[in-house]
């Protein structure tokens, strides 16, 4: 997942005289970046937890179709 900064263009043109607009625009940009990074972290954490589970199951089954306690 990559951060596409071109999709985060300013809502309107910000002039040097429009300081409040600049601050608002920067705040939106930061919030967008935070959302993207949170989604990326969530994706990685979901994948790693799934892999933990898979490895635990393989360990418990010891190469068998079912674990010994599941029979």
* Ranges of each domain in the chain: 19-66
The more confidently predicted of residues 2 and 38 is 38
pLDDT at 27: 95
Question: What pLDDT digit, counting tens, does each position of 38-59 carry?
Answer: 999 999 999 999 999 999 999 9
Tokens 């674990």 locate to 67
Question: What is the spatial distance between Cα 66 and Cα 11, in angstroms, rounded to a whole number?
Answer: 57
- Contact indicator for 20, 53 with CB cutoff of 8 Å: no
Say yes or no to pLDDT of 67 above 80.
Answer: no
Query: Long-range contacts for 49-52 (Cβ within 8 Å, ≥24 apart)?
Result: none
Percent of the chain with pLDDT over 70: 73
Question: Rounded mean pLDDT of 20-29?
Answer: 91
Band of the pLDDT at 66, cuts 50, 70, 90? confident
């Amino acid at each position: 997942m990559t951060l596409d900064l071109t999709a985060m263009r300013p809502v309107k043109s910000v002039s040097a005289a429009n300081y409040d607009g600049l601050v608002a625009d920067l705040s939106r940009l930061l919030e967008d970046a935070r959302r993207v990074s949170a989604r990326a972290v969530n994706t990685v954490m979901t994948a790693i937890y799934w892999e933990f589970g898979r490895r635990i199951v393989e360990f418990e089954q010891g190469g068998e179709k079912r674990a010994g306690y599941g029979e």
